[in-house]
Amino acid sequence: MEHAYDITLTVNGAAVSRRVPARLHLIDFLRENLELTGSHTGCEHGVCGACTVRVNGDIVRGCLMLAVQANGCRVDTIEGLSDSKELAGLQKAFHQKNALQCGFCTPGMLMAAQDLLLRGKKVSREEIRTHISGNYCRCTGYQAIVDAIEEVMQTEVPHGQG
C-alpha cells in the first residue's frame, strides 16, 4: 500500500509544498515532481554521485534520502547554484579544460567540487581526487576534472590559507 505525506521545503530559494509517497527519493521528487532534471539519477544506491544535491548547505546523495525526510529543509540543486552564479568559475574551468564529455556526471561533480572549494583551503591534487572519489566519471579519466578544480582553487581560494 502506498503511504503519502505532506511536505513543505525550500528548493532553490522557493517554498514548495507537495504530497509525496514515503518511498519517493529526494532525487526523483526534484526531477519528476519539480522538473529540476539537472541532477541525475544514476546508480540509485549511493555509489556514483550523479544525484548530489545540497540539503541545509551540505552535499548529500539524492538517491539515499527520501523526499519526506527533506520536510522543512532547504534544498539547493545544480539549477539554483548555476543561476546564482555560485558555480560560474567552476563551470568555465570545466569547459575550458575539457573536464566533461557526455556530461552525465557533471552536475554532481560540480556540487562535490564546490563543497571542497567552500572549505577555503588549498589542497593537493591527491586531496582533490579523494574528495571527488564518490563521483564517477566514465568519460574523462578525471585528469581534466582535477585540472579544472585545481585551477579554480588557485584563483578563487584566498592566499595564506590551507
- Give the residue with the Cβ less far from other proteins, 6 or 83: 6
Binding of other proteins at residue 21 (CB under 8 A)? yes
> Which residues partner with 19 through β-bridges?
6
Q: Using the rule CB under 8 A, which residue among 6, 13, 22, 124 binds other proteins?
A: 22
Q: 15 in helix, strand or coil?
A: strand
Q: Which of residues 80-139 bind other proteins (CB under 8 A)?
A: 112, 115-116, 129-131, 133-135
Q: The C-alpha cell of 121 is what?
A: 583551503
- Give the residue with the Cβ less far from other proteins, 22 or 95: 22
Q: The C-alpha cell of 8 is what?
A: 513543505
Separation between Cα atoms, residue 131 and residue 45, nearest integer Å: 19
Q: Which of residues 45-84 bind other proteins (CB under 8 A)?
A: 45-46, 49, 52, 58-61, 63-66, 68-69
Give the single-character DSSP code of 106. H
Q: The C-alpha cell of 122 is what?
A: 588549498
Separation between Cα atoms, residue 101 and residue 95, nearest integer Å: 10
- Give the residue with the Cβ less far from other proteins, 157 or 159: 157
Binding of other proteins at residue 17 (CB under 8 A)? no
- 86-102 burial: b if 16+ Cβ within 10 Å, else e: bbebbbebbeebebbee
- Give the residue with the Cβ less far from other proteins, 33 or 69: 69
CB proximity list for 45: less than 8 A, separation 6 or greater: 63, 64
For the bound state, the minimum distance from the C-beta of residue 159 to other proteins, rounded and expressed in Å, comes to 24
Which residues of the chain form contacts with other proteins (CB under 8 A)? Answer: 1-3, 5, 21-23, 25, 28, 44-46, 49, 52, 58-61, 63-66, 68-69, 112, 115-116, 129-131, 133-135
